[in-house]
Amino acid sequence: MQEEALGWVIRTRDPDFVDWEAFTLWLEGDPARAEAYDALMAADTDLDSIIPPEPVAMPVAANDPGEPQRRTWRWIGGGAIAAALVAAISVGMMTRADIYTVTTRPGETRIIALEDGTRIDVNGGTTLRLDRNDTRFAALDSGEAAFTVRHDESDPFRVTVGDAIFEDAGTIFNIVHTGDATRIGVSEGKVIYNPDSQAISLPAGRALTDDAQGLRVMDVAPAAVASWRQGRLVYANAAVGEISQDIGRSLGIALTTTPGARAMRFTGTIRLDKNPARFFAGAAPLMGLRAIRTGDGWLLKEGNGPQS
């Protein structure tokens, strides 16, 4: 179990990791798995000092011609190396027991009230780490969360998302983090993006996206920020590919899109409904799309017409 948990820690730390459904199924298979994963995840800051960041040369047998093979230890999840990593990480766990993980299933929401007065609304399909001894810290590993922060200029609240840091300045903001993109919208106060480097100021009504196309800052309606808490999704010229991820996370359904549908854009408000058939009957035509049931999931494709 320790080796399995270590494998999931390594995989879920990868910014390109997307197989959250399989990870959730693994967690639900045995309560002890979540404890093992949380304990290893708590020591994640020690992983980089244990696992070499660059590929390590592997020796070549005398009868094997050619250049030495190079392999990155980061992706080796079993055997003697994994066992050694577990042993090494256990030392770090002694001082990181204060870190704990909050995980929601797709379609599930949760409200967390921190002792400092900060409130975190966690959307479905989300993994969030918090610190029992530091209520001014959070790490969003994946999914979506809205933060209503009690501001303290002398001790700012910081959210770590991958390699980025968002620091509050008396703020209500919403962050979405998927395998290939991070989005934040600010509805009140101000957030500083990477205060120790770029220091980009995001006041209320501003949003930031960091994805394959680069870093972009844009306007956003404050009422649209974290609108999922009120049972609706509000967009201004958003790609359907992005919208489909939000729908799947909020409703807890498997949703795919055709390439043509994924590239389409939409402006408007979509009201959420936990009944997928009823939801798509109204939402798909609104976006100029058709929704088709596919086994346990749904497919969005171009063109208006009867939903099925």
Position 96 scores a pLDDT of 53
Tens of pLDDT, residue by residue over 69-102, are 433 333 333 444 444 454 444 444 434 568 899 9
Q: What is the mean pLDDT of residues 125-131?
A: 94
User: Quick one: pLDDT at residue 59?
Assistant: 41
The pTM of the full predicted model, rounded to 2 decimals, is 0.66
Q: What is the pLDDT of residue 164?
A: 92
The CA dihedral of 116, 120, 126, 127, to the nearest 10 degrees, is: 0
Q: Is the pLDDT of residue 288 over 50?
A: yes
Can you give the residue ranges of every domain in the chain?
Answer: 2-59+70-93, 99-223, 231-302
What is the model's pLDDT at position 224?
92
Look at residue 22 in the predicted model and tell me its pLDDT: 77
Q: DSSP per residue over 194-217, as a string?
A: STTTT-EEEETTEEEEEETTEEEE
pLDDT mean across residues, the chain? 81
pLDDT of res. 94 = 36
Answer yes or no: are the C-beta atoms of 127 and 162 closer than 8 Å.
no
Give the per-residue pLDDT at 20.
Answer: 77
Q: How sure is the predictor about 55, in pLDDT bands with cuts at 50, 70 and 90?
A: very low
Predicted confidence band of residue 15 (pLDDT cuts 50, 70, 90): low
- Fold classification of 99-223 is Jelly Rolls (2.60.120)
245: nearest Cα among 291, 253, 237, 296: 253
In the predicted model, what is the mean pLDDT of residues 100-128? Answer: 94
Place 43 in a pLDDT band, splitting at 50, 70 and 90. low
Please report the pLDDT score of residue 7 as a whole number: 77
The pLDDT of residue 97 is 61
pLDDT (average), residues 58-76: 40
pLDDT given at position 36: 78
Q: What is the CATH number of domain 231-302?
A: 3.55.50.30
What pLDDT sits at residue 72? 38
Residue 30 has pLDDT above 80, yes or no: no
pLDDT computed for residue 165 by the predictor = 93
Cα–Cα distances in angstroms (integers) from residue 105 to residues 7, 110, 189, 274, in the given order? 20, 10, 30, 14
pLDDT of residue 139: 95
Going by C-alpha positions, the residue among 164, 172, 151 that lies closest to residue 195 is 164
Q: What pLDDT does 285 receive?
A: 94
pLDDT of 295 = 84
Which of 74-83, 173-182, 195-204, 210-219 is predicted with the least confidence, judged by mean pLDDT?
Answer: 74-83
C-alpha distances in angstroms, 194 versus 15, 24, 45, 161, 246?
A: 18, 30, 18, 10, 25
